[in-house]
Amino acid sequence: MTGLSGHILVVILRSVTEGGETWSLTRKDRVPYPMAMTTQFLQAGTVAGCDPRLTPIIQKVESGERLSSADGMLLLETQDVWTVCSLADQVRRRMHGLTTWYNVNKHINYSNICALSCTFCAFHRKKDQDGAYEHSMEDIRREALAAVEAGATELHIVGGLHPWLKFDYYTDMMSMIREIAPTLHIKAFTAVEIVHLARISKRGRDGYEGILSVLRDLKEAGLGSLPGGGAEVFDDRVHDEAFKGKIRGDVWLDVHRAAHAIGLNSNATMLYGHVERIEERVRHMLLLRRQQDLALASWADSNGIITSLDPDEQSADAIVLTGPEENYSGPRLPVTSPDGVGEQGWFQTIVPLPFIPDNSELEHLPGPIGLENLRMIAVMRLMLDNIPHMKAFWIMHTLDMAQFMLQNGANDIDGTVVWYDITKVEGAGTHQETSVKDLKRAIREAGFIPAERDTLYRPVIRDGRSWTIDSSG
Ligand code: SF4
């Protein structure tokens, strides 16, 4: 139990048809249709330059109604990007007010040696290739101590699918960090790494149970949550063209379902702008959204909170967290307990990742730029109405661009990020970090209030390198 009880998640109930499937929904807590629609949005269908086809979407967002796949297609196609961005900004302000989160974290890429060769990946190396590396336990120990010394609250650890490292390497890594830095939250291993660990620990044939078992071992050793990488785009055609050999979308979702089932929170990404079509982007969002409905229903259930959802029946009722204030009779977002331990986890953050072609096998593709990146932040904020947070991952967008994204749906600018080797903004060096001062400045200049969080979005009280979790609120 996370200790929270007594509030009711508002469940918006209706019948919708999305992607050819009819989802039967029932209504729990109907509230009157709010009349105070923002003038800007009411006018959107009539002002020159605005797309009148967006009017029904504007009305749905205003009332907190879930958007359909057709809505998602229109949001991705319309030339009226500014209305799309304004809607996402409205939703973000409803959910988070002016608060914008940052964190103090350190990334460790333990090895770039990988058994696979995804075409979009500029990170991986083969064992004897120039630039291949593999960190020893002592290297990682040093990095963890440096993170503590720098006042970090989080270690973010990912790497390639190393062909020879044994499962013990990974559990030893967790245990060692837990021992020397007990306050550091360990966010580690993408879904594809978890499946790889199931294989090398001879649990690969056990499917979902094998994944659960691996995650339990890692959690026992110190793992605190999962990052969202490796999702790419949930579509078999895209998979076969761009990352054949990597796990498919259903397996990625299974890994996160298993993590949630043992109380680990996780994050969700979409790597867009390579070989996918926009309908495949929409489908990716719908699959994430559907899984999150079930995760939140289980979380509510484990906390004695009433919803009309029955996670055991795999119902597809919608839990919408983005509606107007009057739709909620209690806190709108799922809450992490002060000790950070819960029975059921959920997707806490959406992280849209633009494909950066440099040095990959898809270098001939242009990759998405400015306006498209703004649009994706906004559309994912609107479509993924049940995922609490939206991150503008500055390391891939630049801090300047991330600032714009805060005004277009994002409420998190990520962290100070020391040593990020996976994907770099064109021309940038490997060693990328920024200061808390610069993050705060970027947030303030965008018109928001900076607040430091830990990995689980608990507020942090800081005094130089020392910090504690603020459990007062
Ligand atoms: S994306 Fe991941 S799995 Fe694919 S080649 Fe790169 S490191 Fe390996």
Assess whether pLDDT exceeds 90 at residue 63: yes
Identify which of 411, 339, 347 has the alpha carbon closest to the alpha carbon of residue 4. 339
Question: Distance of CA 351 to CAs 23, 244, 427, Å?
Answer: 26, 22, 22
Atom from ligand 1 closest to the CA of residue 160:
7
Question: How are beta strands 99-103 and 466-469 bridged, if at all?
Answer: unpaired
Q: Could you tell me the pLDDT band of residue 313, with boundaries at 50, 70 and 90?
A: low
Q: Could you tell me the pLDDT band of residue 48, with boundaries at 50, 70 and 90?
A: low
Identify which of 192, 198, 186, 195 has the alpha carbon closest to the alpha carbon of residue 225. 186
Interval between CA 116 and ligand 1 midpoint (Å) = 6
Encode pLDDT of 266-285 as tens digits: 999 999 999 899 999 999 99
Assess whether pLDDT exceeds 60 at residue 424: no
Residue nearest atom 3 of ligand 1, based on CA coordinates: 116
Residue 277, both tokens: 């079509």
Interval between CA 432 and ligand 1 midpoint (Å) = 20
Assess whether pLDDT exceeds 50 at residue 426: no
Radius of gyration of the chain from Cα atoms? Answer: 21
CA distance 50 to 150: 48
Encode pLDDT of 114-166 as tens digits: 999 888 788 899 988 999 999 999 999 999 999 999 899 999 999 999 999 99
Assess whether pLDDT exceeds 80 at residue 213: yes
Residue nearest atom 2 of ligand 1, based on CA coordinates: 160
What is the pTM (predicted TM-score) of this model? 0.87
**For 100-334+342-469, which CATH class?**
alpha beta
Computed over every residue of the chain, the mean pLDDT equals: 85
Query: What pLDDT is stored for residue 17 in this prediction?
Result: 32
Mean pLDDT of 253-264: 97
Contact 143, 454 (CB under 8 A): no
Residue 358: CB atoms within 10 Å: 13
* Helices (runs of H) and strands (runs of E) counted in the chain: 15, 16
Q: Could you tell me the pLDDT band of residue 15, with boundaries at 50, 70 and 90?
A: very low
CA distance 375 to 378: 5
Interval between CA 95 and ligand 1 midpoint (Å) = 34
Atom from ligand 1 closest to the CA of residue 120:
1
Query: What pLDDT is stored for residue 432 in this prediction?
Result: 62
Cα 77 versus chain centre, distance: 23
Ligand 1 cavity residues, CB under 6 Å = 114, 116-118, 121, 123-124, 160-161, 192, 246
Query: What pLDDT is stored for residue 272 in this prediction?
Result: 94
Assess whether pLDDT exceeds 60 at residue 412: yes
18 or 214: whose pLDDT is higher?
Answer: 214
Contact 11, 308 (CB under 8 A): yes
Choice among 60-74, 342-356, 383-397, 458-472 with the minimum mean pLDDT: 458-472
Query: What pLDDT is stored for residue 416 in this prediction?
Result: 79
Interval between CA 247 and ligand 1 midpoint (Å) = 11
**Distance from the first to the final alpha carbon of the chain:** 18
